[in-house]
Amino acid sequence: MKTLIPPIKSQGIKTKLVNWIKGVSKKVAFERWVEPFMGTGVVAFNIQPKRALLCDSNPHLIHFYQAIQDEKITPNIVREFLNEEGLKLLQSNGEYYYEVRERFNKDCDPLDFLFLNRACFNGMIRFNQKGKFNVPFCKKPQRFAQSLVTKIVNQVENTAKMIKSNHYEFKCQDFQQTILETNKSDLIYADPPYIGRNADYFDCWNEENEVTLQQVLSKSKCNFILSTWFSNKYRKNDYIFSIWKSYPIVTKEHFYHVGAKENNRNMIYEALLSNIQMSNTDLNGGIKDALTHRLEISTL
């Protein structure tokens, strides 16, 4: 099945990893898919469960997909909006971007959020301590050329069809509340901010958050899958061997094409941790046992 690309971009988006995650999710039966850290929605939208609870602490992500679900944002509305705003952007030599950013930080319109996300530097979703979007403009000519507008419109259309054909609930809330709302028959997919990585998120993420996440997942009666990073060229994620040491791990080599800093463009080993048995798996190639990989990176 062709990968469904969501209209919202972000650093660390799991587009190229969804088949890997899907392979693990197929090992267990579940009635509802639950994400405490929905992000762009790319994993859920490609798993395409019949029922899902999709949550995030970033209200702008949730409001955008709620607007699609409620048909306040449609493909035709997006096409008209991006054509009009894109022309103003072109005529202003990029300065109009900052007018839209100021408007969004005041009114929080989901269409403005889409515009900023597709026009900003590297598709970053970053907010300052006051909750204001602060990513600068990506200075590329014809930022909203007709081909890109059509591409985004198609992404909105495909996402809308998928949401409409299933029963999805979108909620803006923290991960603890989301996990508290789960049932034994649910499968939780957790993709928290990558601890120890140079990244910006709507909320901060630290060791205390990581420990709390481990505790609430362990106390839940659900099966869960968690995404994190295992190692890169320079270092490894020590939290895997402390906070998450009791869970099976599989790893996969991956390259991120976006990043505000050069050292975030390097090859990275992604990791999936789970209370689902994953030993001796051979999912989508390139997966190694975590202990074996730990021995390899000790020589770096």
Residue 78, domain CATH:
1.10.1020.10
Question: What confidence score (pLDDT) does residue 62 get?
Answer: 99
CA distance 112 to 30: 36
Residue 242, domain CATH:
3.40.50.150
Range with lowest mean pLDDT among 119-123, 185-189, 278-282, 293-297: 293-297
Segment 118-128 mean pLDDT: 92
Helices within 34-132 (DSSP H only): 42-47, 59-69, 75-91, 96-107, 110-119
Could you say which of 135, 162, 189 is where a domain stops?
162
Would you say 44 and 35 are in contact if contact means Cβ atoms under 8 Å apart?
A: yes
Of 172 and 250, the structure prediction assigns the larger pLDDT to 172
Does pLDDT of 287 surpass 50? no
CA distance 254 to 205: 22
Residues 158 and 180 in one domain: no
Residues 232 and 101 in one domain: no
Could you say which of 134, 162, 190 is where a domain stops?
162
Residues 193 and 289 in one domain: yes
Question: What confidence score (pLDDT) does residue 191 get?
Answer: 95
Segment 3-18 mean pLDDT: 89
Residue 284 placed within a domain: yes
Residue 229 Cα distances to 43, 49, 188, 250, angstroms:
16, 25, 18, 11
CA distance 116 to 122: 11
Segment 222-248 mean pLDDT: 90
CA distance 130 to 230: 32
Residue 9 placed within a domain: no
Residues 216 and 76 in one domain: no
The total number of structural domains that make up the chain: 2
pLDDT tens sequence across 181-202: 999 999 999 999 887 654 555 5
Residue 7 placed within a domain: no
pLDDT tens sequence across 45-70: 999 999 999 999 999 999 999 999 99
Of the ranges 20-24, 102-106, 120-124, which is most confident? Answer: 102-106
Residues 190 and 286 in one domain: yes
Could you say which of 162, 197, 218 is where a domain stops?
162
Residues 78 and 102 in one domain: yes
Residues 125 and 199 in one domain: no
Residues 219 and 256 in one domain: yes
Residues 263 and 208 in one domain: yes
Residues 94 and 38 in one domain: no
Residues 84 and 221 in one domain: no
Domain ranges, residue 195: 15-57+173-297
CA distance 62 to 55: 7
Does pLDDT of 263 surpass 90? no
Residues 84 and 22 in one domain: no
